[in-house]
Amino acid sequence: MPLVTRVTDLIGRTPLFELATTATGTRLLLKLEQFNPTGAAKIRMAREMVLDAERRGLLASGGHIIESTSGNTGLGLAVVAAERGYRFSAVVDHHACKDKLRAMRAMGAELVFVADEGDDNLATSAREDYAEAMAAGQSDAFFTEQHNNDANAVGYYAVAEELLEDVDRVDILLSAVGTGGSLFGTATRLRQLGHTPRVIGVEPVGSIAFGGPGGPYWQSGTGTPPGATIGTAVDYSLLDEGVKVSDVAAFATARAVAAELGLMIGGSAGGSVHAALTRLEEFPPGSTVVTIVCDGGEKYLDTVFDDEWMNSRGLLDAAAEAEVSEMLEHYAPAARRRQRTPTAPTREMEVAR
């Protein structure tokens, strides 16, 4: 990469990781978006939403950006606001991971809480209502409203372009759906470029985007909780199938991937990977399956990767983690299996003994 002068110049060109391969040649590839600045995919759409607002005259020089966020969008907006000279207020709740909140504050964001200390319930609807009212009361403010902002999806067009630079085709695009921007923006651009993958959305059990009863869930930054409005960024016209994954399965997958491979992925990515692994044999032979890993697991050391936190919420399940570990071993690409096979002792080893 050439020398750059802005953090946002580092966005993109994230790597593809081959997680699993079947005997019939179907492979599961992970688009590792934690290699972006802020360690998440959402900085892509944060930048596009601000640039789009500038182009449309909705955000004046020195203006005030306001957004409701569970963390990753706020981190991206904090970077863009710092670069471009805006104030940024993140409307948050205590469901968000503490390290995301600390990082936003470190980058100059104002944190506005809609819940009392100690209340760690997800408060998406309350956050969005407060952010909208907050922006309406200030003449220089712009509510980016990520759930209903067309620039959200456009921010992910580059993901499709990067994928097609690395692989010939994408047969199945399977990823978590929060605002919907990453999955449907990538799918839209793939179609524009002449590719029509099967699009499978993944949400937590308890989320209402794909129907079914609503309820609480702990996966962060994904899904639509009861009482929240499903935004326009969720493009049902592109969706072939919606599936649900429990918190236990999602977190067990993230933990098993970390333990087996040394790769840290977030809880929502764990849900997507679980959905892909458990049905990998169902896809046509030779398929290329891509999952967008929206962030890394390092932000969840005090939640998903903390046994005490997991156990206190009834989420720790050693059997579920073992099941995922078995799938990872069963579907391990040949190169990784060779690397893990013990080699015969060398003469130097024998002498050392």
Q: What is the pLDDT of residues 299-330, one digit of tens each?
A: 999 999 999 999 999 999 999 999 999 999 99
The answer to whether residues 47 and 22 belong to one domain is: no
The answer to whether residues 103 and 24 belong to one domain is: no
Model confidence at 120, in pLDDT bands (50, 70, 90)? confident
Instruction: Give the lowest-confidence range in 11-25, 318-332, 337-351.
Output: 337-351
244 catalytic residue (yes or no): no
Let me know if residue 62 belongs to a domain: yes
Domain ends where: 103, 126, 150?
A: 150
Let me know if residue 225 belongs to a domain: yes
Model confidence at 352, in pLDDT bands (50, 70, 90)? very low
Let me know if residue 343 belongs to a domain: no
Going from the C-alpha of 47 to that of each of 82, 101, 151, 224, 321, the distances in angstroms are 11, 19, 9, 23, 36
Dump pLDDT digits (tens) for 210-224: 999 999 999 998 999
The answer to whether residues 98 and 239 belong to one domain is: no
The answer to whether residue 286 scores a pLDDT higher than 70 is: yes
pTM, whole model, 2 decimals? 0.92
The answer to whether residues 83 and 226 belong to one domain is: no
The answer to whether residues 58 and 165 belong to one domain is: no
The answer to whether residues 208 and 198 belong to one domain is: yes
The answer to whether residue 97 scores a pLDDT higher than 90 is: no
The answer to whether residues 99 and 207 belong to one domain is: no
Domain ends where: 119, 150, 181?
A: 150
Total domain count for the chain?
A: 2
The answer to whether residues 124 and 266 belong to one domain is: no
The answer to whether residues 33 and 54 belong to one domain is: no
Domain range for 325 is 7-41+156-332
The answer to whether residues 202 and 123 belong to one domain is: no
Let me know if residue 347 belongs to a domain: no
CATH number at residue 192: 3.40.50.1100
The answer to whether residues 172 and 107 belong to one domain is: no
Give the active site residue among 31, 42, 100, 244: 42
